[in-house]
Amino acid sequence: MPMSHVDEQTLLQDLLTDPDRFFEQVVLYYEQRLFTFALRLSGSYEEAQEITQDAFVRAYQALTTYSTEQVRNLALRSWLYQIVLNVARNRLRKRQRLPFCISLEEAGSDSAEEPASAPVEEGPEARAEARERLLLLERALLTLPLIYREVVILRHIEGLSYPELARLLNQPVGTVKARVHRGLAQLRQVLVDHHAREVLYD
């Protein structure tokens, strides 16, 4: 359920009157997005669960110390992404680059073993293929260093604007743009290197 900015404004208003009830709404509205973000960052369902939980708890703790003025000026969505990112960075650093080692070959090998001329049943076949593509993409994304992965995800999957991203990362817009560009270039290289033709050319 994507949330429009109108809802975000309503949420901020609610926060000023009843922080506790507001927070439950925040969790309700953002859990899907933040969890998906954490999942793309970490590549692990359990890790994403922990990251999202920790991030929400930190957000609540921070909110209880904020003044009315601070709350009113909060860019809620990117503020929450920022917290998730910080939690994820800390946790992933501890895990010592574990998710980066996932091999693309593994993902590719399954489909290669399937007979190329399998009987065509349009519906499920096409759906399985689409899933295969997404899985391969996810794995490719996980091979990027975190510094590139996070900006590619935030810009192109979560759809944050460059100014939003610059504020979130506390970096100049130019730097952020360059990172996104390099991230995409690396991703392309990963895909090309692994001859991931079925993903690249449909």
Which of the 8 DSSP states describes residue 98? G
Q: At closest approach, how far in Å is the CB of 171 from another protein?
A: 20
Binding map of another protein across residues 28-57, x = CB under 8 A, - = no contact: x--xx--xx--xx----x--xx--xx--xx
The residue from 8, 60, 71, 75 that contacts another protein (CB under 8 A) is 60
Residue among 2 and 170 whose Cβ is closer to another protein: 2
Q: Which segments of the chain does DSSP mark as H helices, in order?
A: 5-17, 19-42, 45-65, 68-72, 76-94, 104-113, 122-142, 146-152, 162-169, 173-193, 197-200
Question: Coil, strand, or helix at residue 30?
Answer: helix
Residue among 96 and 145 whose Cβ is closer to another protein: 145
CA 87 to chain centre: 13
Amino acid 89 reads: R
Contact predicate 145/189, CB 8 Å: no
Q: Which of residues 71-130 bind another protein (CB under 8 A)?
A: none
Amino acid 54 reads: D
Residue among 44 and 171 whose Cβ is closer to another protein: 44
The residue from 13, 24, 90, 97 that contacts another protein (CB under 8 A) is 24
Q: At closest approach, how far in Å is the CB of 200 from another protein?
A: 5
The residue from 4, 6, 17, 61 that contacts another protein (CB under 8 A) is 61
